[in-house]
């Protein structure tokens, strides 16, 4: 058994790499966890990618378990969610993938960034009931797309850059870095840092027809981003945004 973990880019079907297209063709069974949420466009994008590039395949859908969002113990809640997702995936793989077959998970952006697919597969292997090889096909992440759209590098010359979450940025600006990329921000955490002399490069729905981009001194554009973000979220029912905060 082999499982391919295929990065599919952050929203534009043209971001699929030639390697990803070849991998899509190799897979016999695609495993999908149905989140049952309102992001129908994301489901449609996956369907379009499969229809355009995969051949002779089967799609198997499992129900994504709910995450306990009420818990204050964030890491424990995510760990628990991952274990329950591993239960669902292990069942799907055992019931649907033959010994000589190739299975695949499509991963938004790149599998290396804030995605639990690899951890879930490792968890399944560690249980010892199933055995398979894993191959990862890198994808274009929302972070690469953000930098490209704003035509900026992520780091300043010879300097580090840190990728973090909105939850962490809301608490403090990380030590030792002037360039911070923020993902998974549900609450515009940049507004906690209007005292900083920083520039923000913000992007939402990157790579899609609804893409939104705003850049400028964070003090000056924060209110505009909050307004545009709230309106877009209201209109579409969901939002995915990423930004770079840069102190010079």
Ligand X SMILES: C[S@@+](CC[C@H](N)C(=O)[O-])C[C@H]1O[C@@H](n2cnc3c(N)ncnc32)[C@H](O)[C@@H]1O
Positions in the binding site for ligand X (CB under 6 A): 10-11, 108-110, 113-115, 141-142, 183-184, 203-207, 240-242
Please identify, using beta-carbon distances, which residue of 37 and 129 lies nearer to ligand X: 37
Report in angstroms how near the CB of residue 182 gets to ligand X at its nearest. Answer: 7
**Paired sense of beta strands 2-7 and 102-107, if any:** parallel
For residues 213 and 104, what is the distance between their CA atoms, to the nearest angstrom?
33
For residues 74 and 79, what is the distance between their CA atoms, to the nearest angstrom?
9
Report in angstroms how near the CB of residue 116 gets to ligand X at its nearest. Answer: 8
Report in angstroms how near the CB of residue 183 gets to ligand X at its nearest. Answer: 3
DSSP per-residue codes, 126-138: HHTS---EEEEE-
Please identify, using beta-carbon distances, which residue of 62 and 207 lies nearer to ligand X: 207
Contacts of 71 (CB under 8 A, 6+ apart): 77
Please identify, using beta-carbon distances, which residue of 54 and 240 lies nearer to ligand X: 240
Report in angstroms how near the CB of residue 129 gets to ligand X at its nearest. Answer: 27
117-127 helix and 74-96 helix, angle to the nearest 10 degrees:
70
Task: Calculate the CA 72 to chain-centre distance.
Answer: 22
Please identify, using beta-carbon distances, which residue of 141 and 199 lies nearer to ligand X: 141
């Amino acid at each position: 058994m082999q499982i391919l973990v295929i990065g599919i880019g952050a929203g534009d079907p043209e971001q699929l790499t030639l390697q990803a297209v070849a991998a899509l063709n190799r897979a016999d069974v695609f495993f999908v966890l149905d989140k049952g949420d309102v992001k129908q466009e994301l489901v449609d994008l996956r369907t379009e990618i499969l229809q355009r590039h995969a051949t002779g395949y089967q799609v198997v859908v499992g129900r994504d378990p709910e995450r306990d969002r009420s818990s204050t113990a964030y890491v424990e809640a995510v760990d628990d969610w991952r274990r329950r997702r591993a239960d669902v995936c292990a069942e799907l793989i055992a019931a649907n993938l033959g010994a000589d077959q190739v299975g695949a998970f499509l991963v938004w952006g790149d599998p290396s960034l804030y995605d639990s697919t690899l951890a879930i597969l490792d968890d399944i292997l560690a249980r010892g009931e199933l055995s398979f090889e894993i191959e990862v096909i890198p994808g274009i992440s929302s972070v690469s797309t953000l930098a490209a759209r704003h035509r900026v590098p992520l780091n300043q010359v010879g300097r580090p850059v840190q990728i973090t979450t909105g939850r962490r940025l809301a608490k403090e600006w990380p030590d030792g870095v002037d360039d911070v990329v923020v993902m998974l921000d549900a609450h515009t955490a940049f507004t906690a840092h209007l005292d900083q002399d920083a520039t923000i490069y913000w992007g939402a729905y990157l790579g899609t027809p609804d893409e939104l981009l705003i850049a400028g001194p964070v003090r000056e554009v924060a209110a505009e981003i909050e307004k545009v973000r709230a309106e877009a979220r209201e209109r579409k029912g969901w939002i995915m945004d990423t930004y770079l905060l840069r102190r010079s």
